Amino acid sequence: MDLDDFIIAVFCRMDDLVAWVGRGQRLRRRGPQPTLADSEVLTMELVGEYLSLGQDQALYAYFRRHYRPFFPALGRVHRTTFVRQAANLWALKERLWQALVRQAAHSDPTFALIDSCPVPVCGFARAPRCRRFRGAAAYGHDPLAKAPFYGFRLHVRVCWPGLLTAVCLAPANVGEREVAPLVAQGTTGLLLGDRNYWAPQLTATLRAQGLTLVAPYHKAQDDPTPRHSALIGHFRGRIEPIFSQLVGRGTLKRIWARDLWHLGNRLLRKILLHTVCVTFNLDHGRPPLQLAPLVAP
């Protein structure tokens, strides 16, 4: 489909989901209804994320310039009003995301992957004088870049074949094994992790919850079962393209937010977009993690 068809498809999905989640009840308990419908704002946010428009100003300007006929009320809404309405919808985005996860076809909730990704909030050289997220962000190490960073780590749980089902944002100095019980909460079956999750105590804790954690030995040079670890890595590698999509298309490592409220909203819309695209592919029998072919160039 082309971009116009993609915008229409996303709007129809969001409009149906908002109606299903609300079930006839007003989302706002008092005050007038906004000029822009919530499904319109959600559509612009998600399509903007697909187009890598990470900044709200660029997102608003793009749709105001190119898609005014699709969203006629956008001409009567100021940019700050649009941004405020989008940020206030963070709780709705979370409910829509979970609704999509529950409705997703051809996914296996008993076979999950777990990992984390760095989310820097500023350049490392600027970190000592950065005022954003002071007291919340921390210093950590990015193993892929082989460099320290200042910010958070996004811990995720992915159900096969590639559906994001749980996330947790933690300071960068919090270990993955500390967050794993929280991310794995509410699931049973098999959970695959990398070498950072190898811990007999954590495995026993999750086993008591009905979850089997499988991870390679924490030191590759001393691994007693290298073939078994290679097999785990083969399946666990499914999570790497997801991080690449969140970082590349979703600009996860370039989030222009100044507080946790806006940061949480922007993370949720990236996750919601990824879930929408994966469900589109699953519904049409396409490879779930091929997001680029959804919109023809």
Question: In this predicted structure, what is the pLDDT of residue 97?
Answer: 95
Distance CA 45, CA 266 (A): 9
- pTM: predicted TM-score of the whole model, two decimal places: 0.93
Taking 50 as the pLDDT cut, the residues of the chain under it are: none
Question: In this predicted structure, what is the pLDDT of residue 59?
Answer: 92
Vertex 154 angle, CA 153 and 158, to 5°: 145
Question: In this predicted structure, what is the pLDDT of residue 236?
Answer: 87
Question: In this predicted structure, what is the pLDDT of residue 24?
Answer: 63
Question: In this predicted structure, what is the pLDDT of residue 143?
Answer: 87
Which class would CATH give 108-255? Answer: alpha beta
Domain segments of the chain as ranges: 3-88, 108-255
Residue partners of 204: CB distance under 8 A and separation at least 6: none
